[in-house]
Structure 1
Amino acid sequence: MGHRVVAAGAVTGAVLAAGVTLTAGGALHDPTAEHTGRSVIAAAPGRGQDATTLEPPSTPRERTQTAAAVTDAINGVVPGSTAGLAVHDRRTGAMAVATDPDEPHYTASVVKLLIAIDVLRHHGWHAPGGDTGSDLTAMLSASDDAAASRLWDEFGGAAIVDRTAELVGLDATTPPDEADEWELTRMSPRDIVRTYTYLQQDLPRSAREAVLGTLAHFDATAADGFDQRFGLPAAFGNDTVAVKQGWMPVGDDVVLNTTGVVGAGGRFVVALPVVLPGDTDFATARDALTAGARALARALGGG
């Protein structure tokens, strides 16, 4: 996300420290992004000719080592970063790798998954048409914050988070303190993977396709000019199924989240939310999350 600057602490200082500037319209501008229009990445299951078979770490020691490798790789690029991690194996129903999976993190644009579920619920689990349908697609594929704000206002604001948390069974998800600051919703890594699992397993086909099908063809460059290809898609390549990213400066920190589904049949759901020091520019932050995601991909036999 980059549509608004949140008011959690010394915002102006955080924006400057993050290496971004404010445009006249109040949007965040990332000077490292390539403004080449809305190029699209197709990342649906089975589309990659060189997709690999991913497998989880087989022993508790290997799971612990994998979690440490992800954190170490991130901190190797940006020391002082704090990462959460949850990797859910849908084949076994178990958590394959985890680091503080129940610790809530700011979602930034990852909350758009909850908004999407609520919109679809209001429409009887069918993709809406008209402006609402256009906003839903733009919010997911281009991470369009203006579209998210319109849907947030239309469908009840913070009540969206409460309703969807109850529906999906999320126990470490809370709405923002300020009702209009949807980006300051908090979710734990475990709740993020529960949300994806709900999308995969509990939604009717048309509703599932409206979300995961769109996330399978996300725009390489977001509506605010941010390069969305960091983290999971950069690390897993053809093994990537669907992705929702998040980014923003908050107070003295920079938040960058990479989440999604990887592996044949959408086997693994991954949530990797990271808090980086506030003087980290976004290009370096992207490199850090990609390093962490690559460590995970290597441990699963991909990358």
Structure 2
Amino acid sequence: MAATVLGLTGAPPATAAPATSAPARATQAEVPAGVTAGVAVFDRTTGTFTERLNETMRFRSASVVKLLIALDYLRTRDPRTLSAADRTRLDSMLRSSDDNAAGYYWDLGGRRAIIDRTVAQLGLTDTANPPAGYEGYWGYVALSAADTVRIYRYILDTASAPVRDYVMGNLRQSTRCGTDGFDQQFGIAGSFERPRTVKQGWSGFGSSGGCTPKPPTTVPAAAERRSAPAQRSAAPRAAAGVDLTREALHTTGTVGAGDRTIVAVFTLHPDGTPYGTAYTAVNRLTRSLDVPGAARPSGTWFGTWGSGVNVRPRPTTVDSAPLTMLPAGVEVLVSCQKLGQEVTIPPYTNAWWAYLPQYGGYITNIYISSPGNQLPGVPVCSS
């Protein structure tokens, strides 16, 4: 079978209490080389932080700011009485990180006024508006891991029940793919089993996010705003100490029964880092954290190579339409493997397929970075 059938390119690489101070100990956070990270993990049961690393450092928020945009719009509205159009836009913004919906509400709420209001209402200390001249770019709002914990604590412990239930209910239904075609299954979503909620953020990675883009929510053209300028040369490199150009990938949300633990991980990556590489780095960092109440998925992590790697419901390309695609070069969790259709991508031929529980499907073992056709230490699927 030709490589174009699977759409693959590339070559294999070488093998609810008040917060108190955390106990005096070294953080467990394992930050990959070259990555700049800000981390805060707050256990709502004990009222303590279990992880704090550069927690007040400001990062450009990317799509994490959509939490504040939503809260500001709902400040004077009951989610139960929203119009169908509002519900569609807000659902898409919170679940699928819809940029057009964010642009619509950003303009509607007065842009910088949204941040002024939410900073005052939530008691945020590190959050700041986009730099002068870039007021239209909501993704340039500065956030810290510590302020993100405050945002979730406000939603869970202070906001009205209808607002809390609406926002958290949408975050529980986070989609695998954003409306811009980027895979959102990293960080919290890739490291912990449900129950969990997720609001992710990404910026600076171009257009290779793994998924096939979905049609965007329809909004007036004048309301559309990008999270960052289309050309890097058009943007300042930094503003008020916030890096605006390096690739940014953030994972935030809650983990465990009753939203026990709030997790906020903000990261910056060296210029030119591919999305799959950053995705893997954030997964490794998130998996290293002390997260009370978390259930971790079982399986073995392997690297992959190639781009456009299809995940299919069965170990064959015949009558097995792709469920999604992997970000190029991403690390994946494999729970079992089984014999299926023999695939040939010169110079490789392999009939073994790996099951990826977090994607609910199979990929051919050809594109897993491991010697031999059968993965070592991985059991054969029972069915």
TM-score (norm 1): 0.74
User: What residue is the counterpart of 2:65 in the other structure?
Assistant: 111
The equivalent residue for 2:380 is: none
- One-letter identity of the residue aligned with 1:212: M
Structure 1 runs of 4+ with >3 Å offset = 124-127, 297-302
Equivalent pair of 1:132/1:151 in contact (CA under 8 Å)? no
Residue deviations 1:247-289 (CA, integer Å, cap 9, x gap): 0017541000000000221111011000001111001111110
Q: What one-letter code is carried by the residue in structure 2 that aligns with 1:140?
A: L
Structure 2 residue 182 is the aligned partner of structure 1 residue 220: no
State how many pairs are aligned: 237
Contact 1:142 1:223 in 2 (8 A): yes
Q: Which runs of 5+ in 1 are unaligned?
A: 1-30, 33-57
Is 2:56 the partner of 1:92? no
**Does the 8 Å contact 2:39/2:55 carry over to 1?**
yes
Matched, 1:277 2:270: yes
1:183 matched to which residue of 2?
139
- Which amino acid in 2 is paired with 1:219? T
Structure 1 residues 237 and 164: CA distance shift in structure 2, 3 A: same
Amino acid at match of 1:263: G
- Structure whose residues are more often helix by fraction: 1
Letter of the 2:53 counterpart:
T
1:205 CA displacement: 1.7
Equivalent residue for 2:376?
Answer: none
Is it true that 1:101 corresponds to 2:35 in the alignment?
Answer: no
Aligned partners of 1:156 and 1:97: how far apart in 2? 35
SS in structure 1 at match of 2:110: coil
Separation in structure 2 between the aligned mates of residue 129 and residue 192 of structure 1, nearest angstrom: 28
What are the superposed Cα offsets for residues 159-206 of structure 1, whole Å, 9 maximum, x if unpaired? 101101110110110011221100000011100010011001111221
SS of structure 2 residue aligned to 1:279: coil
Q: 1:130 to 1:290 in 2, by over 3 A?
A: same
Identical pairs, percent: 36
Q: Is the radius of gyration larger for structure 1 or structure 2?
A: 2
Once the 2 structures are TM-superposed, how far is the Cα of residue 59 of structure 1 from its aligned partner?
A: 4.9
SS at match of 1:214: helix
Taking only aligned residues, the RMSD between alpha carbons, in angstroms, comes to 2.1
Work out which structure has the larger RCO, using CA pairs closer than 8 Å and 6 or more positions apart in sequence: 1
Structure 2 unaligned residues grouped into runs of 5+:
1-6, 9-21, 205-231, 238-244, 297-383
Instruction: Return the alpha-carbon distance in structure 1 between the equivalents of residues 81 and 101 of structure 2.
Output: 15
Task: Give CA deviations for 1:137-170 in whole Å, capped at 9, x if unaligned.
Answer: 1100110000110011111111101101110110
Q: What secondary structure sits across from 2:288 in the alignment?
A: helix
**CA contact 2:188–2:198 (8 Å) conserved in 1:** yes
Pair 1:300–1:181, CA change in 2 (3 A): same
Question: How far apart, in 2, do the equivalents of 1:169 and 1:218 lie?
Answer: 27
Q: Distance in 2 between matches of 1:297 and 1:279?
A: 30
Q: Among residues 294, 299, 302, which one is paired with 2:287 in the alignment?
A: 294
Match of 2:196 in 1: 241
Separation in 1 of the partners of 2:40 and 2:135? Answer: 28
| Residues 1-303 of structure 1 mapped to structure 2, 5 A cutoff | 59-61=23-25, 64-67=26-29, 69=30, 71=31, 75=32, 79-124=33-78, 126=80, 128-177=82-131, 178-238=134-194, 240-249=195-204, 252-296=245-289, 302-303=295-296
